[in-house]
Chains A and B, each alone.
Chain A
Amino acid sequence: MSAGGPGGEAVSAETANQVDAKGIGVGLIGIYIAAIAADAGIPYLIFLAGIGAVFATKMGADAVRRVCSYGIGTGVPSIGMLALGMGLISAMFGLAFGAMIGVSYVGPIVGLVVALVIGFVVGTLANKIIKLNIPVMERCLMEIAGAGVLVMTGLSVMIAGSMDFVVISEKVIVTGYIAPVFILGALGILHPFNASLGPDETQDRTLVHAYSVGAIAMVIAGVCSIAVIDPIAGIISTVVGLAIWYVTFMGFVKLVKRDAGAGYVGTGLLPPGAM
């Protein structure tokens, strides 16, 4: 048994298909609306790319939850890093491919497809060659890589205000804003399950937490975009991110109260019998 996981398939109220549909759907739609609007001269809708990244974060966190409930205890942080590693490569490949053929709008979709392929290959290697024998491994690694690519693309588009590889590489990579985006994206995917690790973990609590960490990444990306694109657009993204964070964080605390039950106390000695 892992350091806290019950071992075996995770209990879910929201099915994997629902989470994936929302993650990929909202993720891509948000990124495209934001980029098309910014290209049309309206940068104020750029926060939609951040909202897409928040939903993609949730999809990644749910996949981490499902694969890690098979007893990958200390591997949770590693799998988050793996996600963004696969995501970064695929995202940059997709955007560069878009620039190469001269149609920058195909970037996120190409990146997503590449990520799914990489995720499948990595999952197959882990299951068949290293013989981890986790039934959901291939699918979860595909989801994690897909979430990684959408988070990276969403936050990069949010900072650069464009889907053009040249603009993103100049404004996000050369300036170094890729560093907070990368690490916050990774923590958004790994932290929700890692922070809820234990046999009484519940899906709704973990996923609300994923929204809140995704919103933190959105806030920081919004702050970075103040210096890069329009300051007002950056401030709008930051404020929207803060609002999402506040609502979801309070929701998380409420679910902690629900799950801890009588154990949610202001202070006190250890429970009877524990000494």
Chain B
Amino acid sequence: MDPAMGMGLVALMGAAATVAGCSEDLESDIGSQSNPNSQVQLAAQVGYPHRIFNKAISGEPPSNAMYCAVGAGVAMVLMSESVMSASPLIAIAIGAFVAALLNGVFSTTSYLGRNASQTRFNQYVYLDVLRNQILSLMGHAYITTFCIVLISYVMWNQNLIGHPFPFPVIALIWGLCVGAIGSSTGDVHYGAEREFQDFKFGSGLNAADSGNITRFAEAGVRSSMDNAWFCSKFGGPATGIAFGMVVFLDNWRSTAFSGWTAVVVGVVIVLVLVIYNRKVETYARKKYGPFPEYAGDIEA
């Protein structure tokens, strides 16, 4: 392939991955999936019934792997010559739509099921919470799936990158990847930052504070949708950059170099990132911590 074309594809995939990472994180924040979910789930049990969406579709990696694998599977059916030889973009769009419908079904059942299972804690099933959030969840899931399936298609197509794995399997792997990055990068912003922002740095997180995530404005003025407002300031874009960098750097090194050089470049990138992360961590600890009053003798 022409090197300029190769670099263009890598850039396209990086851009699509950035959008996918961002929308994936916002989707999971609106639904309070994974990291924040345990706090929302515990809230009713510690005496705080709430009106926050409780979307427990396993962890984010399996659920996003499902949307992406299904999206790619449906797109592949539509593209196959025995069915309708649809153009890839239309096929991917329809595949992503089917995946978004699955997102809607799984979100609905998990909201209804989890809240109905907490009746003894006075937790209600609010249908308006379901109606208000479900379309925005499905919309974000659509964007994520579309971008991931697009990346997978570019990787799989023999005239473009020509990866040896089948199309839905590549989508499954990238879906797992975006879910894992969204879960570890963006959800920390929602789960930890939003809930514990009035706590001092390094003071530790007490399990008894878990339910607070559904209190104050969240109990009335705000809804789960406002988590997207909060997280789109930092958590979503950070996830997008993280995932975009994973896709971009990985494809860049294998496009620009070949053989063992590509492996060495990969190792160098990992080392640089490890050192950089360590620097950021020590900088933050020196600047903001440790918690001054802590003497190490407080009963848990």
Taking Cβ atoms with an 8 Å cutoff, the residues of A that contact B are 3-4, 73-74, 76-77, 80-81, 173-180, 182-184, 186-187, 190-191, 194-201, 205, 209, 212-213, 216, 220, 223-224, 226-227, 231, 249, 252-253, 255-256, 259-261, 263-271, 273-275
Taking Cβ atoms with an 8 Å cutoff, the residues of B that contact A are 38, 41-42, 45, 47-51, 56-59, 62-63, 65-66, 69-70, 72-74, 76-77, 80, 82-83, 98, 102, 105-106, 109-110, 112-128, 165-172, 219-220
Given contacts A4-B118, A179-B166, A197-B41, contact A270 B50 (CB under 8 A): yes
Nearest Cβ distance between residue A124 and chain B, in whole angstroms? 26
Of all chain A residues, the one with the shortest Cβ separation from B51 is A270
User: Residues of A contacting B74 with CB < 8 Å?
Assistant: 220, 223
Asked if residues A195 and B110 are in contact (CB atoms below 8 Å), the reply is yes
User: Residues of B contacting A213 with CB < 8 Å?
Assistant: 109
**Given contacts A223-B77, A267-B126, could you give 17 more A-B pairs where the C-beta distance is less than 8 Å?**
A3-B38, A77-B58, A80-B58, A177-B73, A178-B169, A179-B168, A191-B110, A196-B117, A213-B109, A223-B73, A249-B109, A252-B109, A260-B125, A264-B125, A266-B128, A270-B220, A274-B122
How far apart are the CA atoms of A190 and B57 in the complex, in Å?
Answer: 9
Given contacts A177-B73, A226-B77, A263-B119, contact A196 B168 (CB under 8 A): no
Asked if residues A179 and B73 are in contact (CB atoms below 8 Å), the reply is yes
Nearest Cβ distance between residue A115 and chain B, in whole angstroms? 20
- The DSSP consensus for interface residues of chain B is helix
A–B pairs, 5, beta carbons within 8 Å: A176-B76, A220-B74, A259-B119, A264-B116, A275-B219
Of all chain A residues, the one with the shortest Cβ separation from B70 is A180
Given contacts A197-B114, A260-B119, A274-B48, contact A3 B73 (CB under 8 A): no
User: Residues of A contacting B122 with CB < 8 Å?
Assistant: 263, 271, 273-274
